[in-house]
Amino acid sequence: MLDKSIIEQFKEIVGEKNVETSNMSLHSYSYDATPGFRKTPDVVVAPNNTEEIAEIVKICNDHKIPLTPRGSGTNLSAGTTPLKGGVVLLFKHMNNILEVDEQNLTITVQPGVVTKKLIDKVEAKGLLYPPDPSSINISTIGGNINENSGGLRGLKYGVTRDYVLGLKIVLPNGDIIETGGKLAKDVAGYDLTRLFVGSEGTLGIITEAILKLVPMPEYKKTMLATYADIDDAARTVSAIIENRIIPATLEFLDQPTVEVVEEYNQIGLPTDAKAILLIEQDGPESVVNKDIEKIAEICKELKAVTVSVAKNEQEATALTTARRSALSTIARLRPTTFLEDATVPRSQVAPMVKEINRIAEKYNVKICTFGHAGDGNLHPTVPTDVRNKEEYHRVEQAFAEIFEKAVELGGTITGEHGVGAMKAPFLKLKLGEEGIRALKSVKQSFDPNNIMNPGKMFFEEEEKGE
C-alpha cells in the first residue's frame, strides 16, 4: 500500500479527479489483454502533460514506487500489467494530434492518440502511416512505439520503428529529454530514439512523438491462393520476393485455421487446403497490375490449387475476410485464447509451421497458425481454458518448445508483441546470458531504482501476480 501522503502529492500535481483509488478502479487496471496475468495497482493516475509526468516520476523514484504506463491495455505480453503494484499511469488526457507537417511529411502526437485516429487524419490528406497492428482501432500510438508494433503491411513498409523520427521522454530521474526530430539524417550521439522504440516502458516515459509519413499509394489489388501442400505455399512466398516483387501484404493461414474459419463463417474456403496465401499489392496502377499478374503466375507455377484476383473493392473485402476472421473464429472455440508471435526468416516459414503442427500433436493441444508469411511473423494460436490446469500446463510446454524451435531456425521469440512478462523466461534463448547482461546494464544506467515497469523483459521467478 502506498502512503496516503504520496497519494495526496499526486492529487496536487494532476488534480483530485485524475487520481483513482477506488476498489473498482484499481481492479479495472489490474490486467491487460494477456491471459493469465493480473495484479492490482495501488493507485491510478492520469496526468495532463509532460511536466506533470516528470513530477510524478520524481516522487516514484525517490520512494522507489513501481510505475507502469498504460494506453488502452491491448498488450499481449502482459507489458501493461502492473506486476509490482504501485502506479498505473494513464494517457487518456494526453491524446492530441499536435501537428501534421505536410512540408516535412511528419505528424507529431501525444502517446494517448488511438492509432486509427492518427491514420484517418493523415489518410484524409492523402498520406499514409503504414504500421497497422490488428488492434489498430483501440491501441494507442504510445503503446505501439513502446512495443515496436508491426502489422499486415510490415513486409513492404516496415514496422513502427521505421516511422519514429523523434521522441520527448521523461527519464526515471525526472529529466525531460528530446531525441531526433523532423530529420531524415541525424547522427548526433547514440540513437536514443531507436533505443526507446520497443523499450516496453522499462526505460522511461514517452510523452510526445514525431512520426514519419509517406505518400498514399494510388492503387491496390488483392488476391488469394490456396495450396494442397504447405511447402508449395512457402516456396511461393520466397519465389515472389526472388522475382523482386515486395507485396504490401503477404498473409498465411494453415489448415487448422482454414478449417475453423470455414466451419464458422461458411465463406467457401477449401477445407482440404493445407495453406492459404492472401496477397495484396499497392502502388501505381500499372505496376500493381503487372505485379499481381506475375504473382498469380508464380502461384500457379508452384501448384496453387486455386488463384483468385479480386475485380473490385467488394471482392477484395470478401477475400480478406478469411484472414481477418481468423482470430475471432479461433476465439470462439474455447474460453481462453493464447495468441503468440514466434517469428522466423521467411525462408523458414514452412519448416516452422510443420514444427508447430508436430508440437501440437506431441502435447495434444489444438494450434491454429496464421500470420504474416512475408516477414516470417507467425501467430500460433491456441484455443484453451485456463481453468483446466492440466491442459494449460501442456499449452505452456508446447509454447516453450515452439520458441526454442523458432530460435533454432534463426528466428526470435517475439516478432511484434514484445517480451513483457509473458516472454521474459524465453529471452535468454534469443540473446544468451551475455545479451541479457548487456540489456540489463542499459536498464541499470537509465533506471537504477528499477521503478519503470518492473517485472517486464527480465525474468524473475513467480511473476504471474495474484
Partner 1 sequence: MDTLVKERIQVDFQNRMDRDELENCMRCGFCLPVCPTYIQSGYDETQSPRGRIALMKGIVDGEIEPDEDIEQTLNECLGCRACEPACPAGVNYGQLLEEARDIFNQNKQHSLPEKVIRKTVFEGLFPHQNRMENMTSLLTFYQRSGLQKIARNIGFMKLFPETLATMEKVLPSTPTRKEMRSQASYYVHKSQPKARVAFFKGCLMDTMFREVNKATIELLQKVGCDIAVPDTQNCCGALHGHSGEKEKAKELAKKNIAAFEEVGADYIITNAGGCGAFLHDYGHLLHDDPEWSERAANFASKIKDITAILIDLDFHLTPLQMPEQVVTYQDSCHLRNVQKTFDEPRLLLQSIDGLHYEEMNDAARCCGSAGIYNIVHSELSMKHLDYKMEQVKDTAATTIVTTNPGCLLQMKLGIEREGLSDKMRAVHIVELLIEAVDRRTSV
Binding site for partner 1 (CB under 8 A): 22-25, 27-35, 72-74, 90, 92-93, 95, 112, 114, 116, 135, 137-139, 327-328, 331-332, 335-337, 385-387, 466
CB of 386 to partner 1, least distance (A): 8
Min separation Cβ 203 and partner 1, Å: 25
**From the centroid of its chain, how far is CA 310?**
29
**C-beta closer to partner 1: residue 112 or 374:** 112
* CB within 8 Å of 400: residues ≥ 6 apart: 425, 426
For 164, 167, 186, 435, 437, the CA distances from 193, given in Å and listed in that order, are 7, 6, 11, 20, 21
Query: What is the Cα 10 distance to its own chain's centre?
Result: 31
CB of 382 to partner 1, least distance (A): 12
Distance (Å, rounded) from C-alpha 266 to C-alpha 160?
35
Q: Based on CB atoms, which residue is closest to partner 1, 337 or 377?
A: 337
- Closest distance of CB 27 from partner 1, Å: 5
CB 211 within 8 A of CB 165: yes
- Beta carbon of residue 131, minimum distance to partner 1 (angstroms, whole number): 18
- When the beta carbons of 132 and 282 are compared against partner 1, the nearer one is 132
Cβ closest to partner 1, residue 145 vs residue 407: 145
Return the bridge partners of 164, or none: 211
| Smallest separation (angstroms) from partner 1 to the CB of 135 | 7
- Please say which residue, 346 or 417, places its beta carbon nearer to partner 1: 417
Q: Are strands 43-45 and 87-90 parallel, antiparallel or unpaired?
A: parallel
Q: Which is nearer to partner 1, 3 or 385 (CB)?
A: 385
Shortest Å distance, C-beta 138 to partner 1 = 5
Q: Is the CB of 39 or the CB of 346 nearer to partner 1?
A: 39
Nearest Cα residue to 154 out of 380, 420, 415? 415
Please, what is the minimum distance in Å from the beta carbon of residue 154 to partner 1?
A: 20
Residue 41 or 166 with smaller CB distance to partner 1: 41
Q: Which is nearer to partner 1, 32 or 251 (CB)?
A: 32
Residue 337 Cβ, how far from partner 1 at the closest point, in Å?
A: 5
- Nearest to partner 1 of 151, 166 (CB atom): 151
Q: In the bound complex, what is the minimum distance in angstroms from residue 407's beta carbon to partner 1?
A: 27
Alpha-carbon distance 154 to 150, whole Å?
6
CB of 136 to partner 1, least distance (A): 10
CB of 175 to partner 1, least distance (A): 28
Residue among 27 and 437 whose Cβ is closer to partner 1 = 27
Nearer Cβ to partner 1 (104/336) = 336
